[in-house]
Amino acid sequence: MREFATFEERLSAWTTDTMKSFFGVEDTNVPLGVAPTNNDKFGDYQCNAAMELSKVLKKAPRQIAQEFIDAAELPNFVEKIDIAGPGFINFTLSNIALAEHIQSLENDPHLGAEQVGRGKTVIIDYSSPNVAKPMHIGHIRSTVIGNAIDRLYRFLGYNVIADNHLGDWGTQFGLMIVGFRSFVDEAALAEAPIEELERVYVASYNKSKEDPTWRDKAKAELVKLQQGDAENRALWERFIKLSIEEFNTIYDRLGVKFDLYRGESFYNDRLPKIIQSLEEKGLATESDGALIVDLEDEGMPVCIVRKSDGGYNYATTDLATVEARLEEFSPERIVYVTDERQQLHFKQFFTIAEKLGLNANLVHVWFGLMRLPEATFSTREGNVIKLAALLDEAEARSLEMVRSSSPDMPAEQQKDLAKAIGIGAIKYTDLSQNPQSLVTFTWEKALNMEGNSAPYLQYAYARISSVYDKFHAQYPDTELNQYSIIIEHKIERRLAVKLSHFSAAVHGAAENHRPNIMADYLYDLAQIYSSFYQNVPFLKAEQGVRESRIRLCRSTAATLKQGLDLLGIETPERI
Ligand code: ARG
């Protein structure tokens, strides 16, 4: 068994081995392991194998469970085993084993999480906004959710490549180029580049509607760009550079880093070859001058891979991108994070990729668009919320909170704190919900100190740290590690069991691409800690018990800090 193995792993290995030999079912496919119980009145773990084995062994499940219990020699970390309901086998861990496990986790930088990703590469394609356009709410969510998935995978030892697949190619650049030459205001461009580029685009687009010669000019400039004309190329590169610079200011504020910024244009040279393979394999057919892939058998509409004017489509670029990524990185998996509106696109191109023999494990993680009730954002204009303004508002609201709760804190520190709380609140709102459910954003929920929010968890963390600091101030010479963790009280036990489940929360969140599994875990942990704190004395407890409880505090703080970090949320020491 690996070092720092969880109880679930150890117990599952034991039930599986023991049942196989005891019942003579070495080759069975029936899962014989355990899972955590939902309620500690049924012990800590349960095994449901008796129900399934009943068919194989032709015996009643309760009888199977009873026979197993009578014969089994319990592993030393199990205190009690009993049967519940139709034949569930329940296990209660021994308090001593539990205490030892929590102590041992202090020496594991991964807090018990198995490094399942070692030697494996995963590409995560997220954020991916479009050049010269402001990020919309879908890009914001993709950035925050994608980054949490990125952090979770890295924590499990995967070699993660965070790739920002910028939308940097397409017919709009013809209009951009002619528009830029006539309408750009360099001062405005220096001030707010993306805003100005967007204004230029809209002006040029509107003119093209009225003026056919303008449209033709735009088309001609596009063709020149596509053919590599130096001047147009330089302009286009400038649009990209300006856009990335502005996107980066947002990524910096969010603590998000990418390994690659490979836009769609990076794959241009591969597009004709993809079309050629589609044709050679008989997958693509002409239709009204366009080239399409029929997906009727798969129950999907046709996918256009080349337009009648010869231009390529979004799906074609994505196919070329998969091919390039496989060649260069041999990833175990490629994860794409976008809003729900792109589901069909991904289903289509995943299907075509498979038909093309691009053997890749492709996963589309989609999320619903968050609902923003009217008047939520003072900065909202039409349907576009300016992300920078949203973050400003979060920080400003948090600063007010900090000023009233800590009026004596130095102003600079108040500001840093407000930043951690405000950004954390925005992220946590995104991350704490099932990504696919409809979420309505409100400031009250996001900044609620008492509810399931980032500030609540950050505050819990700071409070735990302060208990620990108080202890050190009172007992400066005590070497905590010389005292063992002792688990006696029911609430101590509950806390320890929860701490031992951190690893399962990491795996669950990463494997299902659902950071909310981690958020739920942290919220539960904070609540259990809070009832621990309210129900037993800490500093006033007798020597030995006191140190043990402080050690549990320290483990809880470390777990909360790590868990929040996996969600990209900072944990200030003082609030
Ligand atoms: N640029 C696209 C958009 O804004 C998202 C790209 C997602 N990634 C991908 N490989 N298709 O809608």
Distance 509 CA to ligand 1 centre (A): 23
In a domain, 51, yes or no: yes
Q: What is the pTM of this model?
A: 0.95
Number of C-beta neighbours around residue 262 at 10 A: 19
138-157 residue pLDDT tens: 888 999 999 999 999 999 99
Long-range contacts of 292-300 (CB under 8 A, 24+ apart): 293/348, 293/352, 293/355, 295/348, 295/351, 295/352, 298/351, 300/344, 300/347, 300/348, 300/351
Residue 420: name the closest of 459, 367, 365 by CA. Answer: 459
For 122, the 3-state DSSP assignment is strand
C-alpha 420/C-alpha 457 separation (Å) is: 12
To the nearest whole number, what is the mean pLDDT of the chain?
Answer: 94
Atom of ligand 1 nearest to the CA of 338: 7
274-329 residue pLDDT tens: 999 999 999 999 999 999 999 999 999 999 999 998 889 999 999 999 999 999 99
C-alpha 351/C-alpha 497 separation (Å) is: 43
- Based on the domain organization, do 339 and 482 belong to the same domain? no
In this structure, which residue's CA is closest to atom 11 in ligand 1? 318
Over residues 27-46, mean pLDDT: 94
- Stated as kind and residue range, the H or E segment containing 511 is helix 502-511
Q: In this structure, what is the dihedral angle of CA atoms 54, 57, 62, 66, given to the nearest 10 degrees?
A: -150
Query: What pLDDT is recorded for position 376?
Result: 56
C-alpha 345/C-alpha 128 separation (Å) is: 15
Over residues 325-349, mean pLDDT: 97
Residue 235: name the closest of 187, 189, 294 by CA. Answer: 189
Distances (CA, A) of 371 to 133, 443, 545: 21, 13, 49
CATH code of the domain containing 41: 3.30.1360.70
- Based on the domain organization, do 64 and 212 belong to the same domain? no
- Based on the domain organization, do 223 and 302 belong to the same domain? no
Atom of ligand 1 nearest to the CA of 167: 1
Total domains in the fold of the chain:
4
Where among 231, 254, 277 does a domain terminate? 254
- Based on the domain organization, do 333 and 269 belong to the same domain? yes
538-571 residue pLDDT tens: 999 999 999 999 999 999 999 999 999 999 999 9
- Stated as kind and residue range, the H or E segment containing 163 is strand 159-163
Atom of ligand 1 nearest to the CA of 346: 11
Residue 474 amino acid letter? Q
- Based on the domain organization, do 161 and 271 belong to the same domain? yes
Identify the band that residue 373 occupies on the pLDDT scale cut at 50, 70 and 90: low
- Based on the domain organization, do 458 and 510 belong to the same domain? yes
In a domain, 2, yes or no: no
Distance 365 CA to ligand 1 centre (A): 12
Atom of ligand 1 nearest to the CA of 321: 10
Where among 254, 277, 299 does a domain terminate? 254
Over residues 402-427, mean pLDDT: 96
- Based on the domain organization, do 184 and 244 belong to the same domain? yes
**Pairing verdict, β 78-84 and 303-306:** unpaired
The residues that bridge with 34 in the sheet, in sequence order, are 47
Distance 165 CA to ligand 1 centre (A): 6
C-alpha 423/C-alpha 430 separation (Å) is: 11
Number of C-beta neighbours around residue 248 at 10 A: 15
- Based on the domain organization, do 188 and 306 belong to the same domain? no
Q: Ligand 1 test: best mutation among 338, 339, 340, 344, most atoms within 8 Å of CB?
A: 338
In a domain, 408, yes or no: no
CATH code of the domain containing 501: 1.10.730.10
Identify the band that residue 384 occupies on the pLDDT scale cut at 50, 70 and 90: low
Ligand 1 site residues, Cβ closer than 6 angstroms:
125, 128-130, 165, 167, 318, 336, 338
For 528, the 3-state DSSP assignment is helix
In a domain, 274, yes or no: yes
Token pair, residue 362, equals: 């492709």
Query: What pLDDT is recorded for position 390?
Result: 85
Residue percentage of the chain with pLDDT more than 70: 98
**Model confidence at 495: pLDDT above 60:** yes
Are 293 and 278 in contact, with CB atoms under 8 Å apart? Answer: yes
**Model confidence at 394: pLDDT above 50:** yes
- Based on the domain organization, do 222 and 331 belong to the same domain? no
In a domain, 415, yes or no: no
**Pairing verdict, β 121-125 and 333-339:** parallel
In a domain, 224, yes or no: yes
CA 363 to chain centre: 13
In a domain, 205, yes or no: yes
- Based on the domain organization, do 356 and 328 belong to the same domain? yes
Query: What pLDDT is recorded for position 374?
Result: 60
- Based on the domain organization, do 30 and 144 belong to the same domain? no
Residue 564: name the closest of 416, 366, 427, 370 by CA. Answer: 427
Where among 364, 398, 431 does a domain terminate? 364
CATH code of the domain containing 151: 3.40.50.620
C-alpha 295/C-alpha 348 separation (Å) is: 8
Over residues 404-411, mean pLDDT: 94
Identify the band that residue 437 occupies on the pLDDT scale cut at 50, 70 and 90: confident
Residue 195 C-beta-side C-alpha neighbours within 13 Å: 15
The residues that bridge with 82 in the sheet, in sequence order, are 90
Query: What pLDDT is recorded for position 136?
Result: 78
Query: What pLDDT is recorded for position 382?
Result: 47
**Model confidence at 208: pLDDT above 90:** yes
Distance 137 CA to ligand 1 centre (A): 13
Identify the band that residue 380 occupies on the pLDDT scale cut at 50, 70 and 90: very low
236-273 residue pLDDT tens: 999 999 999 999 999 999 999 999 999 999 999 999 99
Identify the band that residue 1 occupies on the pLDDT scale cut at 50, 70 and 90: confident
**Model confidence at 377: pLDDT above 60:** no
Query: What pLDDT is recorded for position 128?
Result: 97
| Domain with 552 in it | 454-566
- Based on the domain organization, do 85 and 145 belong to the same domain? no
C-alpha 344/C-alpha 242 separation (Å) is: 31
C-alpha 326/C-alpha 265 separation (Å) is: 18
Identify the band that residue 575 occupies on the pLDDT scale cut at 50, 70 and 90: confident
In a domain, 129, yes or no: yes
In this structure, which residue's CA is closest to atom 7 in ligand 1? 128
Residue percentage of the chain with pLDDT more than 90: 90
